[in-house]
């Protein structure tokens, strides 16, 4: 966003603000009812809702620094940017190294179809891909055949030498399912559904087309085997069920580049190849593999006055995949916690308990940073009153549970009874519930039986459009929801810090809780979307150097 645009947006915001006052003089801008007279809650509201910093923080982070791939320079620059923000607000912060990870520099990706006609293809390298040394690499294409077994695959490999290999499923349509549901005849839709299922089954799984190797999250062991066999590069595509979105993950190749194309540009090259129309593709890719480099969590703290050895922790992973800007995964979780700290420092600078924030890295590699933190900080685990983690997109917080601790449920309900009515109506509290099962950083704490709560956000088409895609950018942020999340999180941190008693650690009876939740939500149980854990999740040790995920 240019300086001009940002000035315009800020002017518009002001105009809208005064406009609202003029047009609706009897309705305060944020008509709000507070259940108590607590002046801190009211000040948190005022700061969070009426003088928010979430726009400026988001613009700087997502537009200027961009995505934050584990081990890369942008992540490092982002860690330093967080420090500079905290410093400017008078908050103690540091970058804490917990290990090393492979580093990579993403330069440009130019991918063109040059024969039988010219078209610049929508695509880019997957993360950590080797480049072409900024030179043109032109080759013909070949489709990965179906093999009876890996011996047949190895025999075929010489045929693929020097070619770009198409290794992903050719989608019979790039229209989302919703579009088919709206427009197709029932017969045509059913035909398309079964065609898609068959094609994805043919190309999916861990034994891609019978080679005995998996593509894992982009290249995997099959990518490495093809590289060894002398291919020029791999062309992949992982489309989502949405217009124009693909997932962009990673490869472990070091010589043969791996690119991800849009659903239809992949389809185009595939059909040309299949129909023997002699496609030629030219790649010119700029990238550097940088080897193992130090990786950090950014930790900030507002020291407790009465109980400095008890902790309330804000938590959100800071790293991202790098197909776009990592705005909603997990930029918005990051901004929520950052802005909550800014507010807390102003209205609650001397908390009872120590307030910490963890901006984790390595979450996308398996919650590496937060796991390492739990291993390196037994004192925080011991004194943890509550941890609030947010990591499922830009939406407003609508769900909370007690992380499988019955006593947590009692405390959370008390806290929620003190937040403004709008938040009470918005957040559905699910009772004691279950510990986090993995997939975000609350798991690293929950597996230790700790009060680590996920702040569940409203969906905003997260799965189909922004989660790990090429479309996770600034424009997707729901700013009203984001500022309300920062405000609510600051309130929860304040209330957890002031709470006269600590949450105790008895665990829920998992079977009894499963029955209670099932009774509460029979529909989710019936459709199989709700699956209760039968044992408490076990902690996993944090890898302190690159832990390849090839399978
Ligand atoms: Zn995430």
pLDDT digits over 238-284, tens only? Answer: 999 999 999 999 999 999 999 999 999 999 999 999 999 999 999 99
Res 22 pLDDT > 90: no
In this structure, the strands spanning 233-236 and 258-261 are parallel
Rg (CA), the chain: 25
Name the strands in the sheet holding 456-457, side by side, starting at the edge strand that comes first in the sequence. 428-429, 397-400, 456-457
Res 8 pLDDT > 70: no
Per-residue pLDDT of 479-526, as tens digits, reads 999 999 999 999 999 999 999 999 999 999 999 998 888 888 777 666
Q: How far apart are CA 430 and CA 267, in angstroms?
A: 44
Q: How far apart are CA 301 and CA 296, in angstroms?
A: 16
How far does residue 316's CA lie from ligand 1's centre (Å)? Answer: 8
Other beta carbons within 10 Å of 474:
18
How far does residue 326's CA lie from ligand 1's centre (Å)? Answer: 9
- Rounded mean pLDDT, 137-154: 98
Per-residue pLDDT of 176-186, as tens digits, reads 999 999 999 99
In this structure, the strands spanning 258-261 and 123-125 are antiparallel
Question: For residue 239, what are the CA distances in angstroms to 194, 248, 289?
Answer: 17, 9, 26
Res 7 pLDDT > 90: no
How far does residue 212's CA lie from ligand 1's centre (Å)? Answer: 30
Q: How far is CA 461 from the centre of its chain?
A: 13
How far does residue 391's CA lie from ligand 1's centre (Å)? Answer: 5
Q: How far apart are CA 502 and CA 520, in angstroms?
A: 28
Q: What percent of the chain has pLDDT over 70?
A: 93
Q: Can you give the pLDDT at residue 529?
A: 64
Contact between 105 and 287 under an 8 Å Cβ cutoff? The reply is yes
Structure tokens at 160: 């693929």
How far does residue 248's CA lie from ligand 1's centre (Å)? Answer: 14
What's 62-91 look like in SS3?
HHHHCCCCCCCHHHHHHHHHHHHHHHHCCC
How far does residue 364's CA lie from ligand 1's centre (Å)? Answer: 7
How far does residue 393's CA lie from ligand 1's centre (Å)? Answer: 8
How far does residue 122's CA lie from ligand 1's centre (Å)? Answer: 25
In this structure, the strands spanning 92-115 and 137-143 are unpaired
How far does residue 278's CA lie from ligand 1's centre (Å)? Answer: 41
How far does residue 329's CA lie from ligand 1's centre (Å)? Answer: 5
How far does residue 10's CA lie from ligand 1's centre (Å)? Answer: 29
Contact between 354 and 370 under an 8 Å Cβ cutoff? The reply is no
How far does residue 320's CA lie from ligand 1's centre (Å)? Answer: 7
Other beta carbons within 10 Å of 475:
9
Per-residue pLDDT of 514-534, as tens digits, reads 888 888 877 766 666 667 899
User: Using CA atoms in the order 40, 45, 50, 52, what is the torsion angle rounded to 10 degrees?
Assistant: 90
Q: Confidence band (pLDDT; 50, 70, 90) for 20?
A: very low
Q: How far apart are CA 329 and CA 75, in angstroms?
A: 14
H or E element that contains 259: strand 258-261
Q: Is 101 left (phi over 0), alpha (psi -120 to 50) or beta?
A: beta
Q: How far is CA 183 from the centre of its chain?
A: 32
* pTM (two decimals): 0.93
- Rounded mean pLDDT, 469-482: 97
DSSP letter string, 217-235? TBSHHHHHHHHHTT-SEEE
How far does residue 436's CA lie from ligand 1's centre (Å)? Answer: 14
How far does residue 67's CA lie from ligand 1's centre (Å)? Answer: 12
Contact between 318 and 78 under an 8 Å Cβ cutoff? The reply is yes
- Rounded mean pLDDT, 140-162: 98
Structure tokens at 393: 């997109």
Q: Where are the beta strands (DSSP E) in 76-232?
A: 92-115, 119-120, 123-125, 137-143, 164-166
- How many helices and strands (H and E) does the chain possess? 18, 15
Res 31 pLDDT > 90: no
How far does residue 509's CA lie from ligand 1's centre (Å)? Answer: 29
Q: What percent of the chain has pLDDT over 90?
A: 90
Res 10 pLDDT > 50: no
Structure tokens at 244: 């124009």
Q: Can you give the pLDDT at residue 27?
A: 45
How far does residue 70's CA lie from ligand 1's centre (Å)? Answer: 13
Closest CA to 342 of 483, 546, 490: 490
Q: What is the DSSP letter of 100?
A: E
Q: How far is CA 163 from the centre of its chain?
A: 34
Q: How far apart are CA 203 and CA 536, in angstroms?
A: 35
Q: How far apart are CA 171 and CA 263, in angstroms?
A: 7
Res 25 pLDDT > 50: no
Closest CA to 337 of 71, 93, 502: 93
Averaged pLDDT score across all residues of the chain: 94
How far does residue 522's CA lie from ligand 1's centre (Å)? Answer: 29
Q: Can you give the pLDDT at residue 400?
A: 97
Residues in the chain: 551
Contact between 356 and 279 under an 8 Å Cβ cutoff? The reply is no
How far does residue 458's CA lie from ligand 1's centre (Å)? Answer: 14
Structure tokens at 191: 């035909």
How far does residue 477's CA lie from ligand 1's centre (Å)? Answer: 15
What's 286-355 look like in SS3?
EEEEEEEEEEEEEEEEECCCCEEEEEEEEEEECCCCCCCCCHHHHHHHHHHHHHHHHHHHHHCCCCCEEE
How far does residue 330's CA lie from ligand 1's centre (Å)? Answer: 5
Closest CA to 166 of 132, 198, 134, 121: 121
Res 424 pLDDT > 60: yes
How far does residue 237's CA lie from ligand 1's centre (Å)? Answer: 21
How far does residue 167's CA lie from ligand 1's centre (Å)? Answer: 27
How far does residue 187's CA lie from ligand 1's centre (Å)? Answer: 38
How far does residue 378's CA lie from ligand 1's centre (Å)? Answer: 25
Phi, psi for residue 35 in degrees, rounded to 5: -70, -20
Q: How far apart are CA 551 and CA 535, in angstroms?
A: 26
How far does residue 62's CA lie from ligand 1's centre (Å)? Answer: 15
How far does residue 504's CA lie from ligand 1's centre (Å)? Answer: 28
- Rounded mean pLDDT, 148-175: 98
């Amino acid at each position: 966003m240019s300086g001009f645009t940002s000035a315009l947006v800020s002017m518009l915001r002001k105009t809208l603000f005064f406009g609202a006052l003029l047009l609706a003089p009897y309705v305060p801008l944020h008509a709000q009812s507070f259940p108590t007279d607590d002046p801190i809650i009211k000040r948190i509201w005022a700061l969070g809702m009426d003088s928010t910093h979430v726009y400026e923080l988001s613009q700087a982070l997502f537009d200027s620094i961009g995505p934050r791939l584990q081990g890369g320079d942008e992540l490092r620059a982002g860690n330093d940017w967080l420090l500079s923000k905290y410093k400017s607000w008078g908050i103690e912060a540091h970058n804490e190294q917990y290990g090393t990870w492979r580093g990579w520099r993403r330069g440009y990706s130019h991918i063109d179809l040059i024969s039988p006609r010219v078209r610049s293809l929508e695509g880019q390298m997957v993360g950590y891909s080797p480049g072409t040394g900024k030179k043109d690499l032109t080759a013909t294409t070949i489709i990965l055949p179906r093999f009876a077994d890996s011996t047949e695959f190895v025999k075929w490999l010489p045929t693929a030498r020097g070619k770009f290999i198409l290794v992903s499923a050719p989608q019979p349509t790039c229209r989302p399912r919703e579009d088919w549901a709206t427009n197709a005849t029932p017969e045509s839709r059913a035909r398309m559904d079964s065609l898609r299922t068959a094609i994805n089954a043919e190309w999916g799984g861990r034994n891609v087309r019978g080679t005995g190797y998996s593509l894992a999250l982009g290249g995997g062991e099959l990518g490495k085997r093809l590289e060894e066999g002398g291919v020029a590069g791999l062309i992949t595509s992982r489309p989502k069920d949405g217009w124009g979105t693909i997932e962009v993950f990673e490869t472990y190749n070091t010589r043969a580049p791996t690119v991800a194309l849009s659903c239809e540009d992949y389809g185009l090259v595939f059909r040309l190849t299949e129909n023997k129309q002699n496609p030629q593709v030219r790649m010119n890719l700029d990238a550097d593999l940088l080897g193992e480099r130090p990786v950090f969590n950014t930790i900030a703290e507002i020291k407790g006055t009465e109980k400095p050895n008890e902790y309330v922790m804000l938590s959100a992973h800071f790293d991202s995949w790098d197909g776009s800007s990592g705005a909603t995964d997990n930029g918005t979780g990051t901004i929520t916690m950052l802005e909550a700290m800014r507010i807390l420092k102003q209205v609650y600078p001397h908390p009872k308990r120590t307030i910490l924030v963890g901006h984790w890295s390595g979450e996308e590699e398996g919650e590496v940073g937060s796991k390492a933190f739990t291993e390196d900080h037994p004192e925080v685990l011991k004194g943890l009153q509550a941890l609030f983690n947010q990591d499922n997109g830009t939406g407003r917080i609508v769900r909370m549970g007690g992380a499988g601790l019955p006593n947590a449920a009692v405390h959370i309900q008390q806290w929620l009874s003190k937040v403004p009515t709008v938040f009470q109506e918005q957040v559905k509290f699910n009772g004691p519930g279950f510990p986090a099962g993995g997939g975000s950083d609350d798991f690293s704490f929950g597996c230790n039986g700790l009060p680590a709560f996920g702040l569940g956000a409203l969906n905003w088409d997260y799965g189909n459009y922004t989660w790990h895609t090429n479309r996770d950018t600034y424009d997707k942020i729901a700013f009203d929801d984001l500022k309300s999340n920062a405000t609510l999180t600051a309130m929860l941190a304040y209330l957890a810090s002031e709470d006269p008693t600590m949450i105790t650690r008895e665990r829920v009876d998992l079977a009894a809780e499963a029955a209670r939740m099932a009774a509460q939500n029979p529909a989710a149980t019936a459709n199989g979307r709700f699956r209760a854990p039968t044992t408490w999740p076990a902690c996993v040790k944090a890898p302190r150097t690159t832990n390849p995920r090839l399978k």
